[in-house]
Amino acid sequence: MASPAVNAIGHLSSRYIGRRPGIEHGVTFVIDTHSHHTVEGVCMEYRVLNAQRGWVDKKMVANTWPKARFLEWSRSKRGA
């Protein structure tokens, strides 16, 4: 599961995450609300619960990392 054009995968459904090779291969996830309006921010809890249902551990979610680690990871992916 490698592509030089992909740094993060979005819109995953928990029913597919656990069956995908990403869990076994150390894929880095980013969880967001996919909000188009501020009132949709409440969706974050739903996204986190879906990730947990799909066996995504907090260590695999880039936006849970300390700021310095996240920025280093993010910068390393630019132009990759």
Domain boundaries, the chain: 14-77
Residues in the chain with pLDDT values less than 70: 1-22, 79-80
How remote is the C-alpha of 51 from its chain's centroid? Answer: 8
Q: Which two tokens stand for residue 74?
A: 């993010």
**The pTM of the whole model exceeds 0.75:** no
Which residues is 61 bridged to in the sheet?
A: 29
How remote is the C-alpha of 14 from its chain's centroid? Answer: 12
Which single residue is written with the structure tokens 């656990």? Answer: 18
From 3, 20, 11, select the one nearest 50 (Cα to Cα): 11
